[in-house]
Structure 1
Amino acid sequence: MGIEAVTTSLSDKLDAIFGPCLPAGQPVKPQEFQLRPASVQRLDVDTASILRQYLDTAKAGLLLSVAIHRVHPILWLVDHAGDVWFAVEEVVSEESGELLYTMARGSHIPPGHVKLGHPSLLISTTNKSARIGGEIKYFPASQVWKISNRSGRYGTRPHQTEAHLKAVAERFSEHGIELAINFWTP
């Protein structure tokens, strides 16, 4: 009973910070249960340092990263344990699961190709519940990286609040990654 009380307490705390861990707000494709993006990583001390350096290349004027991230947002989500995962949106072969290309916003997906969205960032192959998810995108006019809750499956569910998004931005900030907040109303 003591362990259960501690687990419940941690879960309640995470619920308050990031929102409850619930199923996706829209259907999850079979490939998103089976496959994870080649670019997926967990935000931790090591990956955050490298991610921060990468994001800084756009601010420093590397036009390659500016051009890429105007149309290729970085997906992120918070899992049941409160861990943040990030990746670019990838498209795979429906038949083989092989990575074909990264997907730009607004792209048409041809037959036989499948987009791996937010649910594919989760480790579990059976439970695709998450607390909150969205995108990180670069805005060259203001030279700012913005984090949003733009995810039809995990970001704009009715229970989500701007405070949940701010908590995620704070998690990145703990690692020296400063992101402006752009909250999408459900």
Structure 2
Amino acid sequence: MYVLILISKYKYFKRSPEYLKINPNGFLPTLVIDDQPLNESLAIIEFLDEKYPDETPLLPKSLLDRTNVRAIALTIASGIQPIQNLGVLNYYSSDGDKKKEWANHFITKGFEALEVMLQRTHGKFCVGDEITMADICIPPQVYNAKRFDVDMSRFPIISKINEELEKIEAFKKAHPSSQPDAVN
């Protein structure tokens, strides 16, 4: 059982004192379990994977595969995604076209590196043929890439993995456009 609390990405930058008590950096997401706040997407994903294990863990048993999964996930979560956060974009410029150009540039640069990484590791998904934590990071970033007019034809591996993920019900439900606070 969980309670979903929606926070407008436009309003959360006000960083209320109440929210800063559970997440001192003021970022999203935060998951509170047994009155313990957990912050940062990848840490939350690992926590949930270990707390609620199933037959296909999000981190493979092989040390090399686990390392590759974490490297891919961190490339996205730490290298590509933060540069297009609203706070960064708004600090950079108030001009919508400049923000779009900025985000396009850095997503493209990050995807160039990611595409090379995936050449060594991919199967049907990022690392082989099982869904991993790395795969969870792909759809939101591809969604943003499209939002900022990144030429996805330059990234066939990323695109193919994303297409495979879009066929899976859990990924359909998690898509940004499927969220209760989606803005069309």
Which structure is higher in strand share? 1
**TM-score (ref. length: structure 1):** 0.31
**TM-score (ref. length: structure 2):** 0.31
Determine which structure has greater relative contact order: mean sequence separation of CA pairs < 8 Å that are 6+ residues apart, divided by chain length.
1
